[in-house]
Each structure stands twice: as structure tokens, then as C-alpha cells.
Amino acid sequence: MTEKSRTGAPVAEAWPDAIYDALRAAGVTHMSFVPDAGHTRLIRRLQDDPEVTVNVLTTEEEGIAIAAGTWLGGARSVVLMQSSGVGNCINMLSLPVQARMPLLMLVTMRGEWAEFNPWQVPMSQATEASLKAIGVTVLRADSAEDLVETVEQAAAMAFDSDQQIAVLIGQRLLGKKKW
């Protein structure tokens, strides 16, 4: 059960559980990911589900190809990555875009609010524009309340309309990294 605020929306700490519920309700049975602190709780929830197949990636573009293969095999997939990994995917994204294969990506943003690593900033600034330039629809959420509904709608758009959707999860929602 997802923890709720007074308004009935999920509280910030509980959004990974609500996203897990939304993904499973959308029929997602496969997840590919590059390890990421921002996705840790969601990754654990999906890994712990015996009905979900999980692939740990060495590079993000592998996840795009695996998602295409998963769809060809009759299943639904989600790819989890950081904004810094989007740059690794641009060429591979032509596969689902040109073949009109559904693709759902959840992208945690770096290089934004309270970023300590200057190397994250350039790709963060280019993430949305790069995805749009290759033909991916980009949705963004900066609050837990918006994120759940955004992921639900993104999954519907991807799987019901054979679209390629990236949900950008704002760094402020993830919180300041402590190193």
C-alpha cells in the first residue's frame, strides 16, 4: 500500500512503490536498468517480483534493444536510466522509433537541482532536446503527485499506441545526493 498525503497523493518517499504498482497494472513484466541510486527502491521492488524478468545493463542502449525484443516476444518492458545515459541511446532509439515499437523509459535527471558533479550538467541540459530530436515523446514530473499519473499515462501511450515515451524524473524529486 502506497503512503498517501492529506490530499490522497503519494508522498515523496513512497513514489517508487506507486510507480511499481502503475507499471505492474500496465502489464510490465520486464525491466532493464543501469544501476542508479535514484531508481534503487523501484529496482528492488521489480527485482523482488517473481513475475518480472530483470536485466542489468552494461550500457543504456542495450536496454532499448532488449525492450524491442521483449515486445516482439509479446511482453511489456520498462527501461530505467539516468539522464547521463540518454546520450548513449540516441542511435539505438532509431530502432523503436522507425519500427513503431512501444518503448517506456523512466529517466532520473542529474545535473539539475543541487547537483554536485559538474560532469552531469551538459547531458542534463541536452536530455529532453536529444530525445525529442530522435522522435521520442518526453513527459516530465517534478513532484511525486505528478509522477505517478505521468507514468500511468506514459505506459498507456507507449503500450496502447505503439509510442516511444520517456518520463523525466526531476532531480529535485530525488533529493540532494550526499557523498
CB atoms within 10 A of CB 74: 7
Domains of the chain, earliest start first:
12-174 (3.40.50.970)
What confidence score (pLDDT) does residue 179 get?
A: 57
pTM: 0.89
* Residue pair 12/142 in contact by the 8 Å Cβ criterion: no
What confidence score (pLDDT) does residue 6 get?
A: 44
What confidence score (pLDDT) does residue 178 get?
A: 61
**Segments of 34-176 assigned E as strands:** 53-56, 76-82, 103-108, 137-141, 164-169
* Residue pair 58/35 in contact by the 8 Å Cβ criterion: no
Q: Average pLDDT of each block of 10 consecutive residues along the chain (179 residues)?
A: 46 82 98 91 96 97 98 98 92 96 94 68 81 97 92 98 96 68
